[in-house]
Amino acid sequence: MVTMTLASLLGGLAPGVLDTGTLISPGEARRLAAEHGLIPVVLGTKSEVLDVGSKARFHTQAMRIGLRVQHRTCTVQGCTVPAAWCHAHHKTPWALSRRTSLADGTLVCGPHHRKIHHPAYTTTYDPGGTTHLTRTRR
């Protein structure tokens, strides 16, 4: 379990907190949410649970197969990691769209997936299916 603010989930810089009490970077917390799904829990000012969301989101097996057919490798420009070793990624953050679809999905390797969810990088997707990562902060 990871606790983080909504602002941090959407790209902010506050760390996530594991249920062991260990702090993790906001990028790592976002990557975990993207790979393993999330169930939103709303906390009050004294950390009391006010609401628990109902649905985690994942790409279905059929969507993952569809992505592998569309993309033979990681979609980041120049990357040759085979599709079989890649993660399905939501181009529109699930926290914003609340939807999972083949059209909004892409494949990225583990190292590039970590960069996509790192606040120092900006990600763009071109219509041809290529993902572009640009370091925009230190």
Give the interface with Zn ion as residue ranges (CB under 5 A).
74, 76, 79, 81, 109, 112
Minimum distance from CB of 108 to Zn ion (Å)? 6
DSSP letter string, 86-107: PEEEESS-HHHH----STTEEE
Selection from 50, 68, 8 nearest residue 33 by Cα: 8
- Nearest distance from C-beta of residue 133 to Zn ion, angstroms: 9
Tokens of 68: 């592998």
Q: Which is nearer to Zn ion, 33 or 76 (CB)?
A: 76
Nearest residue (CB) to Zn ion, 95 versus 133? 133
Using CA atoms, how far apart are residues 121 and 137, in angstroms rounded to an integer?
7
CA-nearest of 6, 51, 49 to 30 is 6
Closer residue to Zn ion in complex, CB, 8/73: 73
Minimum Å gap between C-beta 68 and Zn ion is 14
CB of residue 72 to Zn ion, shortest distance in Å: 12
